[in-house]
Amino acid sequence: MKVLLMYRNKDFDPKAAPPPNTDTLVQDLELDTLCKVMAQGDPFLLDIAKKAILLGLASPEAITYRQHALKDSIEQAAVVRRTYGLAVEAIEGRKKIWGWGLDYVDSVLRNSVETLELFFDILKRLRRIADAHRGQFRSEAFVRFFGMIENELDDAYLLKIQEHLQELKFPEGERMSALLGKGFRGDNYLLRRFPIGKQTWTQRLLRRKPKFTFEIAPQDESGHRALENIRDNGIRTVAKALRESTDHILSFFTALRTELAFYIGCLNLRNVLLKKGEPICIPVPSGPESLTLSGRGLYDVTLSLKLEQRVVGNDLAADGRRLLVITGANQGGKSTFLRSLGLAYVMTQAGMFAPAEEFSLGISEGVFTHYKREEDIGMKSGKLDEELARMSHILDGIRPRCVLLLNESFASTNEREGSEIGEEVIMSLLEAGVRIFLVTHLFELAKDLHSREGADALFLRAERKADGQRTFRIIEGEPLSTSYGQDLYKQIFEGAKRAVEVPPVSASQ
């Protein structure tokens, strides 16, 4: 049985290799903060949340398929959580049963029967959930899933499982046959079924008795060992088949738990954000060739998760723009805005909701980041060498229709050199079909890009009021030659001066 709740034609593979830029992306977008809230302390949810976000979807159709399932999960959260609980119960219950005796045929058979009894009870409960709630789901994923449960686990099938489980307890002992092999040894042992159906007392009394029988004395250890070997030979095939059956059902519950874990994580995150009053929306994806990018109230979800209060959201109208350049006042919200864009991309392409009131985008074939790093005393080369090495690694993996977020890149050298390097890299990537979002304090770089790019570029600026106050809003505006560092100087040093001022001493003192 296939689950197919995250993909239309395959189950989610948590062992799939993540993209090569995973560590950098997690660090720069602070994805650990996001995933920890999704997990709510559950290591399994944490693992699946991170993998699902990093293994983004490659087409608008695949994203929409998962979005519809997410809508169902939101509207039927209690049913989804109950179903997830059944999968967890099956997996954890099986671990307890198979904790010992795996080397003996009899133990394998007994453990398999016990496991099947556990699974049978859980499958019946899953069938009851499907019967009661299938009509409340609308997405292709969940409608197909619950339909499969009803079709595969119909009444006749469940009754047949119950009959087999009863027989496998061998209430009348084991019945088997064998051929006489070489050296008068038994060969081709087969376990036989007893007559099916209930028998009356008269039928049991009149049932033909075996003509030849023998008994083994209680003290005959060799005889009992020989009899156990015969029994093992007879039940070995059945034990193997039963174990394969339990493994098959276990794989179904494992896939169900894995795929529902993603939606449980989304529900956990949604509850936290709505409790704070933060907006979320189901974004609208389109093909990468459209260069769509617009939003209303877009905010940095990881920053919001760290603060008690809501964070400032921004509007964006960048449809058709391949290059976004963000400049302006220090500590004005530029890096936060850039991170909000990156998070909106990876969340949308994972099939999640977006941290905005409205959001639409042309999907990318990969999101890459190149952020300024703090000085590391362990570095064997200079900061510029380290920046260029990271950029070279990005260039090895990036391709057309990808997105690259640059946050104060090439600022570790002087402005002239940094601007020249930055412009050369950016222009080459734009010509190769990469979409670039750039935050920079390099005025020469921003000015040169502004003079060259025209309609394909959008220039934004961190808003600053006349009195120096930061609104943390990003507005359209051409680059300025200053980042208003004097505002921060006055704020920090004049405040420090007032703090150390000593009141005058009077003559009486």
Beta bridge partners of 316: 295
Q: How many residues does the chain have?
A: 509
> What pLDDT is stored for residue 175 in this prediction?
64
312 neighbors 385 (Cβ within 8 angstroms): no
pLDDT tens sequence across 159-181 = 777 776 666 666 556 666 667 77
User: Rounded to an integer, what is the distance from CA 278 to the centroid of its chain?
Assistant: 22
pLDDT tens sequence across 239-294 = 787 788 888 899 999 999 999 999 999 999 999 999 999 999 999 999 988 999 99
Helix, strand, coil percentages, rounded to 5, for the chain: 55, 15, 30
Tell me which of 153-167, 252-266, 296-310, 450-464 is least confident: 153-167
User: Rounded to an integer, what is the distance from CA 54 to the centroid of its chain?
Assistant: 7
Report how far residue 31's alpha carbon sits from residue 23's, in angstroms, rounded to the nearest whole number: 10
> What pLDDT is stored for residue 507 in this prediction?
44
Q: Which residue has the tokens 């769509």?
A: 292
pLDDT tens sequence across 123-132 = 999 999 999 9
Radius of gyration from C-alpha coordinates of the chain: 33
> What pLDDT is stored for residue 489 in this prediction?
46
What is residue 284's three-state secondary structure? strand
Q: Which residue has the tokens 């109230």?
A: 297
> What pLDDT is stored for residue 241 in this prediction?
76
pLDDT tens sequence across 35-92 = 999 999 999 999 999 999 999 999 999 999 999 999 999 999 999 999 999 999 999 9
- Beta-strand relationship, 403-407 and 435-439: parallel
Nearest CA-CA partner of 18 in 48, 45, 57, 51: 51
Nearest CA-CA partner of 341 in 320, 365, 369: 369
- Which helix (H) or strand (E) segment holds residue 475: the answer is strand 470-476
The string of DSSP letters for 432-499 reads TT-EEEEE---HHHHHHHHHHHGGGEEEEEEEE-TTS-EEEEEEE----S---HHHHHIIIIIHHHHH
What is residue 358's three-state secondary structure? strand
**Residue type at 335 in one-letter notation:** S
With b for 16 or more beta-carbon neighbours within 10 A and e for fewer, the 205-227 pattern comes to eeeeeeeeeeeeeeeeeeeeeee
Report how far residue 333's alpha carbon sits from residue 461's, in angstroms, rounded to the nearest whole number: 10
The string of DSSP letters for 74-131 reads HHTHHHHHHHHHHHHHHHHHHHHHTTS-TTSHHHHHHHHHHHHHHHHHHHHHHHHHHH
DSSP code, position 382: -
Best mean pLDDT range from 31-40, 98-107, 221-230: 31-40
End-to-end CA distance of the chain: 90
Domain ranges for the chain, please list them.
Answer: 55-169+248-275, 280-497
Task: Tell me what the mean pLDDT of segment 472-485 comes to.
Answer: 80
Nearest CA-CA partner of 326 in 465, 471, 457: 457
Question: How many C-beta atoms surround the C-beta of residue 411 within 10 A?
Answer: 19
CATH of domain 280-497: 3.40.50.300
> What pLDDT is stored for residue 199 in this prediction?
56
Report how far residue 24's alpha carbon sits from residue 371's, in angstroms, rounded to the nearest whole number: 9
Beta bridge partners of 263: none
What is residue 325's three-state secondary structure? strand
> What pLDDT is stored for residue 509 in this prediction?
40
Nearest CA-CA partner of 168 in 116, 104, 96: 116
